[in-house]
A and B are shown apart, each in its own frame.
Chain A
Amino acid sequence: MDVPNFPDVTKSAVPFFVLAMLLEILSIRYLEKKGKYETRDTFASLSMGVGSIVAGILFAFVKVNFFFWLYQYRVYTFGFSPFIILLCFCLDDMRYYWAHRFGHEYRWFWASHINHHSSQHYNLSTALRQTWTGTFTGLFVLQAPLIVLGFHPYLVFFVGGLNLLYQFWIHTEAIDKLPWWFEAIFNTPSHHRVHHASNPRYLDSNYAGTLIVWDKLFGTFVPETKKDLPRYGIVKNLATFHPIKIALHEYVGIGKDLLQSGLSWKQRFYYLFATPGYSHDASRKNSSQLKRDYLDLHPEEADQPGFLGKV
């Protein structure tokens, strides 16, 4: 079977990323589109993007070797027809949904993903604020079922790259809402603004990569509402623009938590793998607790999206 020469999507798209950011900056300035760029924040995001590409190149061998080893044990051999590529893309998009959801719900994975949410701005440069430690977390094993099913590793890498490329343009405030049919099926700037917001209403929602249908299917979809405009960033915003500190701060935090004296092994395990916001002495709050706190102040919101089942 001939394997097509799939391009490195992320690398090839770099000129497009640059051009799109320039256009967004100019449209904010001259067309009065919504959005804001800040010099140091943007350089932090760009540095994170470059670091992510470098880390990807350095550690690619881990994934490549693992997937090719696994591919020997596939149950079927899919080809590379347009239908198979589309099928692989859709299945990988569902894989992305769960990987992304785990990235928010378990601190070990959150430590890697948190940097993407660390900017208080929301513009195209935020899309490039990517992890340096993705391979290290081991979450790539969620792609293994696709390999075992019989999709070629290079095809899986290719559709994964396309998925990330799709997500670039949705990191903007310059586009409001798109036609209803598009908003119903695809992830859009509006849906993804919700995902990047730290308002209690929007926490832990809209994990989709390309198709928003996964959030609707698995109960995590929350629409953007004008009465509660997204405030971007994380619950405890960072006090730095330093890319290395942004990339590693949560790991250092985990280390400090684990080294506290007097903890049981169960408590140490929870500091590593429980939901972000866990603390053995209840001194911190996770997203469910923050939502309940909000409902204490706004009980009329109890039946609204983002708060269902939180009372």
Chain B
Amino acid sequence: MSNLYLLITIGMGAGLIGVLIHQFGGSQEARLESIEAARQRFLLDFAGETIHQVWLSRDAKVAFLKLASSAKIGLVCSLGAMYYTRMVAKQDIKSIQRLVDGFYLDLYEVFFPKIHYFAQVDTQEYQDLLHYLQDYKEIY
């Protein structure tokens, strides 16, 4: 098979595959339906943890979890149709930056994207979360 024919096959094949997947709903983004969903997703990866409280972002893509072991924060984030989880210690946090609609969390982890936590900023619940995070990193 010539390289030209190979390139055409890959190009057309990838295009057709992409269109089909998109048409069949493959571009939908996952959302944490509830606080309980965030809790259950976290426990899938960290089964032994005891969770005291869960904060869910307004777009339902990020959740922070207060754990019994106070040294670390629990984190659940959506990525495409799936989720990833982390146990974050003080030294893992690069910065927490306050925004008008929530805050950015940035970690030292390699290739970790800044997380945007959307919130109703005037609620007590949100203030509780900021207060909790402040124990781990100064919020600016």
Interface residues of A (CB under 8 A from B): 11-12, 14-15, 17-18, 21-22, 25-26, 28-29, 36-43, 46, 50, 120-121, 125, 231, 233, 235-242, 245, 249, 252-253, 256, 283, 293-294, 296-297
Q: Give the A-B contact count at a CB cut-off of 8 A.
A: 106
Q: Is the CB of B110 within 8 A of A252?
A: yes
Please, how many angstroms separate the alpha-carbon atoms of A294 and B20 in the complex?
39
Chain B residues with Cβ below 8 Å from A125 are 17
Chain A residues near B21: list those with CB within 8 A: 25, 37-39, 42
| Across-interface contacts of A245 in B (CB, < 8 A) | 111
**How far does the alpha carbon of A22 sit from the alpha carbon of B14 in the complex, in Å?**
10
Once bound together, how far apart are the Cα atoms of A21 and B18, in whole Å?
Answer: 11
- Does B98 interact with chain A (Cβ within 8 Å)? no
Given contacts A25-B20, A37-B26, contact A241 B80 (CB under 8 A): yes
- The interface residues of chain A, by DSSP majority, are classed as helix
From A36, A37, A125, residue with most partner B Cβ within 10 Å: A37
State which residues 45-98 of B face A: CB under 8 Å: 45, 47-48, 77, 79-86, 89
Knowing A38-B26, A236-B86, say if A296 contacts B48 (CB, 8 Å). yes
Given the contacts A37-B21, A239-B112, A256-B110, A15 and B82 also touching, CB distance less than 8 Å: no
A21-B17, A37-B24, A256-B110 are known; give 13 further A-B pairs, CB within 8 A: A18-B9, A21-B13, A22-B20, A25-B20, A39-B80, A41-B80, A42-B17, A46-B14, A121-B82, A237-B82, A241-B80, A293-B47, A297-B47
Q: Name the one of A14, A39, A238 contacting B84, with C-beta atoms under 8 angstroms.
A: A238
- Docked pose: A249 CA to B112 CA in angstroms: 10
If over half of B's interface residues share one DSSP class (helix, strand or loop), that class is named, otherwise mixed; here it is mixed
B6-35 interface code vs A (CB 8 A; 1 in, 0 out): 100110011011101110101100000000
Docked-complex contact B17 and A22, CB < 8 angstroms: yes
- From residue 94 to 126 of chain B, which have CB atoms closer than 8 A to chain A? 109-113
Assess A18 versus B17: contact at CB under 8 Å? Given A36-B81, A37-B26, A296-B48: yes
The answer to whether A252 and B1 have CB atoms under 8 Å apart is no
Q: With A11-B6, A240-B111, A241-B80 in contact, do A39 and B85 touch (Cβ < 8 Å)?
A: no
Min CB distance, A90 to chain B, in Å? 28
12 A-B contact pairs sorted by A residue (CB < 8 Å):
A12-B1, A14-B6, A22-B13, A25-B21, A38-B26, A46-B17, A231-B44, A238-B84, A239-B77, A239-B112, A240-B113, A296-B48
The contact of B111 among A22, A50, A242, by CB within 8 Å, is A242
Asked whether A22 lies within 8 Å of B16 as measured between CB atoms, the reply is yes
Q: Are A14 and B9 in contact (CB under 8 A)?
A: yes
User: In the complex, which residues of chain B have a beta carbon less than 8 angstroms from the beta carbon of A28?
Assistant: 24
Query: Is there an interface contact between B81 and A297, defined as CB atoms closer than 8 Å?
Result: no
A120 to B45, CA, bound (A): 13
> Considering only CB atoms, which chain B residue lies closest to A233 in the complex?
B82
Residues of chain B at interface, number, CB under 8 A: 34
Complex formed: what's the CA distance from A283 to B45 in Å? 16
In the docked arrangement, what's the CA distance between A121 and B83, Å?
A: 11
Docked pose: A121 CA to B80 CA in angstroms: 11
| B1-A11 in contact (CB<8A) | yes
Complex Cα spacing A233 to B82, Å = 11
Shortest Cβ-Cβ A-B pairs, 10 listed: A18-B13, A237-B84, A120-B82, A245-B111, A39-B27, A39-B26, A37-B21, A252-B110, A38-B81, A39-B21
Q: Which of A38, A40, A41, A293 contacts B48 (CB 8 A)?
A: A293
Instruction: Determine how close the nearest CB of chain B comes to the CB of A291; give it in whole angstroms.
Output: 12
- Contact among A25, A39, A50 with B10 in the assembled complex (CB-CB below 8 Å): A50
Residues of A within 8 A of B20 (CB): 22, 25-26
Chain B residue at minimum C-beta to C-beta distance from A19 = B13
A25 pairs with B17, CB closer than 8 A:
yes
A58 to B: closest C-beta gap in Å: 14
Return chain B residues, CB-CB under 8 Å to A50.
10
Give Cα A47–Cα B102 distance, bound, in whole angstroms. Answer: 35
